[in-house]
Structure 1
Amino acid sequence: MPDRLALLSDTNAAKSLSTGVLASRENPPYIALSKNSEPLRGAGARLDVEPLRDLIDDVMHLYRDDARTKADAWLAPRLHAALRLTRREAADARLWNFVSLSVAPDYVVWRHLPATGKNGFPPMVAAERFRGAHYTQAFSRLWWAAELFRDGADYRPVQVACGNQDVLNTVLRLDIIDHRPTAQALIRLVEKGTARTGREVNALSAVANTAASTLMYDVFAADDAWDGSILEEWIREGDSAPPVSRRLLPDGPDDGPVPEKAVDTLVRYFEELFVDANVRGRLTDES
């Protein structure tokens, strides 16, 4: 296991994804990966691999007997709190390539290996879980879910988001959740049970995204100005912070909660939109 986080290019990551690795029949070529990785600039405990690896070992142990989708809600806030990255750092896919192949390929297989194969092939993990877009890559999607759905220091909305696979698979792809009140309003409606099924979550996100083309949510439901110095201080505090709690939900950067008035405004608006949303099977279910 490497000592520090590093960067692994898409090209070198792709070369390492043999069918044997994807099918969990062989390990990635660790020596080649080490030679082809670029050290991550910076210092501090947040770049140490061991705390991250311990966290991953713990989640696989805790959820060894459960549906593994349940592990997402536990790991996402703790991954975010443990790594303490800036958005610029987290947007670099090379970091997540390194984590998935050099630090925890066993987690990617544990979480994403399907029960059966296709077209006569053995079960294989989709390559995009090792190297892919921020909303599909095994670790990147959890970090970004925590970043976009947290309410300031409060990770509880993240647990709601990651407890629903349709939120992770659909809502996380939308640009509108960069607007914090929009993200919180959507999660509030999922938590309330307004959108429960996968079809309902997909329909809700579709109407909210479509409406954003004609209504500027950042004007209609304004967010507070963001103070980047608070995040910088939270990152610096990582060197003296204790290990992320396994039992209690950690605290994120205290850069202010989302304005409640803005969230309430969007909740009411989205509820109105959802009444007329095209939810496949809705009429059949009600008849």
Structure 2
Amino acid sequence: MYITALAQRRIHPPPGLLQFAASKDEAVMYLSYWGLQRPPFENVGRPEFFFRSQQHEEALARMLYAVTQRKGAFLLTGDVGCGKSTVIRAMIARMAEMRIDLANVTYPKLSASDLLQEICHQFSSDCHDKLSALRGLRKVAQENHHRERHTVVVLDEAQVINDPEVYEELRLLLNEQDESGFLMTLLFVGQPELRGMIDAIPQFSQRIGIRYHLHPMDFMETARYIVHRLKIAGGSRPLFTRSAVELIHRAANGIPRIINNICDLALLLGMSLQAKVIDQDTVLRVLEEEGIVPHGQANPAPS
């Protein structure tokens, strides 16, 4: 943390920083200082903060297509912090307005039997073992289909699934289909290695109807992202200079989660310095104290 780094290096913090960083309540006091109504850079995937970059919009559109067209499975991958879970939350918000029954498994590192039972329980279907779970899920999918609803299962952090039996049981779920399409759609979300894991099982990989991979944002997307989050948080003016945004982009390598962390600390430090805007020097201080080296810049040689 910023305060810890200052203490370890015996550097005197700017006046007021310790008192503002002493507790969560005091830390968010920067909201009034910067004219904001709520924290703009929390790493919580609130749908209203969803930033519709071209690629995030494309990921959401493809996922929506997979569900509405009743595809068997959709695969969304991306590096840590690229916004996969944010896309999923935006999709879940959209599905709440549709004729969809949803199960959302946020950590699927379970045995095949336990995973099937977890999905079954989320659909409020009675089950006590793998066989009853399979029967229950087939019944849910068929009944939803007759009611003109669709059954969707989200498997977030799916790269933790390393048991081939789990993939085989999920594949068998996709045998439920009719002439109009699958009765159930599986949405797999995970880190890049998930693609290789799925491709290593051809009989399962062939069921993935649509795929999309999220890349880090470029500079212009990063700049729009920061403006967007400040606006949603109630901001009415630019708070970061262009040079500050350029440095943030390089340091975060376009990863939204890291951008959020840097911006949040920069606003806290900027308040303690009574700055009017966050400039490059303020961001540099945050990066130094957090031990972050901007992309493309070598680590300094040890003294």
**What band does the TM-score fall into relative to the shorter chain?**
under 0.3
Bigger fraction of residues in strand: 2
With CA pairs under 8 Å and 6+ residues apart, which has the higher RCO, 1 or 2? Answer: 2
For normalisation by structure 2, the TM-score amounts to 0.23
Q: Higher Cα Rg: structure 1 or 2?
A: 2
For normalisation by structure 1, the TM-score amounts to 0.24
Bigger fraction of residues in helix: 1
